[in-house]
Amino acid sequence: MRPEVVFVCAALILGTGAAEAACRPDALGTSRTIVVDPAAHARIGTMQYAETLPLADKEVVLTFDDGPLPPHTTRVLDTLRAECVKATFFLVGRMAHSFPDLVRRIHAEGHTIGSHSQNHPLAFHKMDATGVQQEVETGIAAITAALGDSGPPAPFFRIPGLLRGEAAETYLADRHLMVWSADFPADDWTRISADEVMRRALERLERKGKGVLLLHDIQSSTAAALPELLRELKRRGYRVVHVEPAKPDNPPTPTDPDAWRLRPSAPAIAWPRVPNPALIRTARADLPVPSPQSFGLFYPYGPKIDALPADLEADFTAFYIPTEVAATVFEAWHATPLRTVETHARTRHARPRPAAARVQAAAAQPRP
């Protein structure tokens, strides 16, 4: 049976005032909220796992990773508010520490906040339990600190780069943190236009008919695409579902266990082709695993490098962000000027190898 469409205008639900009350009559809206229990469903998202959220056809869950980062997160929030749509944000701890006002705004506007590690290392597939614990717990602590009296984030976690690993999944399961993969991305971390972000999101949603869409609120192309994407979802009859974690006073939504299973006919969505398999030879995953390059790695002090040496990769795991915001993000995440890291990179590669020599040559070029 088609679920009753309850137009969740948060002024009614949360009593948060005039801004929410300004929902347009033709806004997309949030059709319903489902409450999920991480202890009962440890991992979701058919890009990597057998289960996904128990959605009906034409239902979509919007997720945004890597923020918060002004002005893009601000613009995303403005769009979601204008359309009365609730989403789930997977925040990076260092970003939350740098922009706590945005964390509080995300929460105040009724979105769900999950966590996405402290430093966004693209190394969860090869980290041991201690490393995973450090990244997970410091990230949650940073978001909790930003939220203040509102308490900790939801026990939802998205592994950076979806680079699943045994130690990470074991730790997260023991911690009762629900791992969110996704059902389809829109490749918005790569250097594609807003129109292309929208086209890929819609095309993949149409193929699956429902699911969890992975976007990045730190991307200008995503912020630019979102208004038209939401209008197009409404035009095509899709409905947005909001997801909350179960609590003692908020029990899980009753569901059919089969509703959590991937439909056999649904095609899998893979990540973009990985250009340098040598960098991911230790990865353990069922699908092609993204490398820093597949995220549109931004190299902060020189031309784009096609192949980073593996030991340098560990230092620059975070730079899959567009040039225009790179300096802001870099300094927010690392609290250090770019020049310092440039020097560090040169020092580490005092004995040049072929790949390292290329990096050094790039680093030695004058910066604009």
65 in contact with Zn ion (CB under 5 A): yes
Q: Which is nearer to Zn ion, 20 or 65 (CB)?
A: 65
CB of 160 to Zn ion, least distance (A): 5
CB of 173 to Zn ion, least distance (A): 20
Asked about 120 being catalytic, the answer comes back as no
Asked about 65 being catalytic, the answer comes back as yes
244 in contact with Zn ion (CB under 5 A): no
Catalytic residue among 65, 66, 183, 217: 65
Q: Which is nearer to Zn ion, 65 or 187 (CB)?
A: 65
H or E element at residue 104: helix 100-108
214, β-bridge pairs: 63, 185
> Using CB under 5 A, which residues numbered 150 to 209 contact Zn ion?
160
Catalytic residue among 41, 111, 125, 216: 216
Q: Which is nearer to Zn ion, 39 or 314 (CB)?
A: 314
CA distance 180 to 51: 10
Q: Which is nearer to Zn ion, 10 or 163 (CB)?
A: 163
CB 64 within 8 A of CB 39: no
CB 34 within 8 A of CB 240: no
Q: Which is nearer to Zn ion, 163 or 359 (CB)?
A: 163
CA 326 to chain centre: 17
CB of 65 to Zn ion, least distance (A): 4
CA distance 76 to 62: 11
Binding mask 215-234 for Zn ion (x = CB under 5 A): --------------------
CB of 309 to Zn ion, least distance (A): 23
CB 138 within 8 A of CB 145: no
Judge residue 13's burial from the number of C-beta atoms within 10 Å of its C-beta, 0-12 exposed, 13-18 middle, 19 or more buried: middle
CB of 95 to Zn ion, least distance (A): 10
CA distance 143 to 25: 34
CB of 94 to Zn ion, least distance (A): 12
109 in contact with Zn ion (CB under 5 A): no
User: Of these, 59, 66, 187, 217, which contacts Zn ion (CB under 5 A)?
Assistant: 66
Q: Which is nearer to Zn ion, 79 or 117 (CB)?
A: 117
239, β-bridge pairs: 59
The DSSP-derived string for 33-74 is EEEE-TTT--EE-TTT-SB---PPTTEEEEEEES---TTHHH
Number of residues that bind Zn ion (CB under 5 A): 3
Closest CA to 148 of 114, 105, 192: 105
135 in contact with Zn ion (CB under 5 A): no
Q: Which residues bind Zn ion (CB under 5 A)?
A: 65-66, 160
What amino acid positions are annotated as catalytic residues?
A: 65, 216
